[in-house]
Amino acid sequence: MDINITFLIISAIGFLILCYSAIISAKENEPKAAKQFFLASFILPLPFLIFTFLEFSYKYETGIAILSILVISIILFIIPLGRNRKYRQTLPVKRIDERDTMFSRNELEPGTERFNDYYKKNPDKKAIDDNWRKRPGLTGRNATQYHPFQFASADASFDTIKALRNEVGGKVADIKVEAGAEEISTYIKKWTTKLGAVDCGITELQNYHIYSEGGRAERYGKKFTKKHKYAIAFTVEMDREMLATAPAGPVVMESGQQYMEAGKIAIQVAMFIRKLGYDAQAHIDGNYEVVCPLVARDAGLGEIGRMGLLMTPRLGPRVRIAVVTTNIPLEINKPLHDYSIIDFCIKCKKCADVCPSKAISFDNMKDVDGIKRWQINQEACFTLWCTLGTDCGRCVSVCPFSHPDNLLHNMVRAGIKNSSLFRSVALKLDDAIYDRKPIAAKVPEWMNVEWKELE
């Protein structure tokens, strides 16, 4: 074994890996990370390079000792420590009433029968809700992040979604087409991906997936029952460049856009199933009868993380979800039961650190209504939204799992899944490279259109 050649190869490999990381970071518009990787590409391989050209007594033995330490360190990081820990999400024992969600409470109009009835039954929420009602509101004209072009773009997406709500259900074809559950499930998954979904999973619909009562528009107070056997959940990606500006206007633009994209796919899939002779209903923004994150979790698309959102293995919380419920025979997926994601959220707490409203808990999971989970303060979160005029998005933008889906970050994700030790080190490095509380990115130049309001 030629110790000099070995150390020369190690220094070259280290240099190339770090240079690649610098190039990827530059392409991701992460100048600090790019600079650090670039400097590291010269500094970290340097000791190995110097060792190659130095001559001293016991050089071979010293080299073997250094290589042994290096190999042992690598082995420690790739040993599956904690990977096989048994973990199961506890299942809800009660159903969620949609009327208690902030979006439903936001639709209550003072002086109406619904308004008076709700706060008669929930007097503890009245003062809290009066506080955010005094503020400009989501995409409100006097909000702190107000920009007429950006907010009008977001409203255009949300209004388009409203126009699609009448298409979530429809007539079922008279002729029923039979197909194997495995074949039709594969077809739907491949097709949703072609339509723009990142991932797709199927689960058996459970009672706890379904809201107990509707809370929005004409569905207010309507009792929901289980009418389908299966639920198809899929995710669409939210653009990282837009989210990096959080909590500025591009965030709510991207939210509206991806809710719309997810809704379009759900409506297409539901129509497709009905044309095969089976009942199906799309569940899209503002017209959900199911709790999408719970359905998606049980369909094997991720776990519910500290911020109360679905944490997907490839994109973390940087997704939007839609669901189709149906009676067509399908093959279900198993939940991930992935402890590595939960352990990551236990250790990380970055979303809680950066949350402007302090709505995300630093504590471990607690028993909430019979479920062991994290509980965000939805009132504090929504009050901030009503001040900003956007849906903030800081928690999603800084999550280490939200990094782009590429070789560099996927290697880190693989390590995170594999080892508890790797998770701890990866989090420290993420803070060092990208900052614990990163500064929001600038709004893309093309969005900064000068404007003035005319009387």
Q: Indicate the SS3 state at residue 202.
A: strand
- Asked whether residue 329 is domain-assigned, the answer is yes
Q: Which residue segment(s) compose the domain that 353 sits in?
A: 98-397
Do both 72 and 139 map to the same domain?
A: no
Do both 177 and 287 map to the same domain?
A: yes
What one-letter code names the amino acid at 118? Y
Report the alpha-carbon distance of residue 163 to residue 149 in Å, rounded.
21
Report the alpha-carbon distance of residue 279 to residue 211 in Å, rounded.
19
Spatial CA neighbour of 21 closest among 1, 45, 52:
45
Do both 184 and 63 map to the same domain?
A: no
Spatial CA neighbour of 20 closest among 433, 408, 411, 415:
408
Report the alpha-carbon distance of residue 309 to residue 278 in Å, rounded.
31
Q: State the pLDDT confidence band at 1, using cuts at 50, 70 and 90.
A: low
Main-chain dihedrals φ then ψ at residue 232, nearest 5 degrees: -105, 120
What one-letter code names the amino acid at 364? N
CB 315 within 8 A of CB 234: no
pLDDT at 82: 65
Do both 286 and 252 map to the same domain?
A: yes
pLDDT of residue 429 exceeding 90, the answer is yes
For residue 210, what are the β-bridge partners? 290
CB 318 within 8 A of CB 400: no
> What average pLDDT score do residues 261-287 get?
97
Residue 454: CB atoms within 10 A of its CB come to: 4
- Asked whether residue 455 is domain-assigned, the answer is no
Do both 67 and 146 map to the same domain?
A: no
- Asked whether residue 89 is domain-assigned, the answer is no
What one-letter code names the amino acid at 23? I
pLDDT at 79: 81
pLDDT at 87: 74
pLDDT of residue 295 exceeding 90, the answer is yes
- The domain boundary residue, chosen from 78, 108, 123: 78
Do both 65 and 165 map to the same domain?
A: no
CB 402 within 8 A of CB 261: no
Percentage with pLDDT > 90 across the chain: 84
Do both 10 and 68 map to the same domain?
A: yes
How does the average pLDDT of the chain come out, rounded? Answer: 94
pLDDT digits (tens, 9 = 90+) for 325-378: 999 999 999 999 999 999 999 999 999 999 999 999 999 998 887 788 999 999
| Tally of domains within the chain | 2
- Asked whether residue 194 is domain-assigned, the answer is yes
- Asked whether residue 423 is domain-assigned, the answer is no
Q: Please give the model's pTM, rounded to 2 decimal places.
A: 0.93
Strands 199-204 and 230-237: antiparallel
Q: Indicate the SS3 state at residue 61.
A: helix
- The domain boundary residue, chosen from 358, 380, 397: 397
Do both 163 and 57 map to the same domain?
A: no
- The domain boundary residue, chosen from 370, 397, 424: 397
Q: What's the DSSP call for residue 316?
A: B
- Asked whether residue 44 is domain-assigned, the answer is yes
- 129: Cβ–Cβ under 8 A, 6 or more apart, which residues? 105, 108, 119, 379
pLDDT digits (tens, 9 = 90+) for 199-216: 999 999 999 999 999 999
pLDDT of residue 154 exceeding 70, the answer is yes
- Asked whether residue 350 is domain-assigned, the answer is yes
Residue count of the chain, please give it.
Answer: 455
Do both 229 and 161 map to the same domain?
A: yes
Q: Report CA-CA distances (Å) from 122 to 114, 129, 130, 341.
A: 12, 11, 13, 35
Do both 47 and 177 map to the same domain?
A: no
Do both 131 and 30 map to the same domain?
A: no
**H or E element in which residue 281 lies:** strand 280-283
Tokens 């129509």 found at? 271
Torsion of CA 34, 35, 36, 41, to 10 degrees: 90
Report the alpha-carbon distance of residue 159 to residue 153 in Å, rounded.
10
Torsion of CA 109, 110, 116, 122, to 10 degrees: 80
Do both 174 and 250 map to the same domain?
A: yes
Name which residue leads in pLDDT, 91 or 169: 169
- Asked whether residue 183 is domain-assigned, the answer is yes
Name which residue leads in pLDDT, 4 or 333: 333
pLDDT at 207: 96
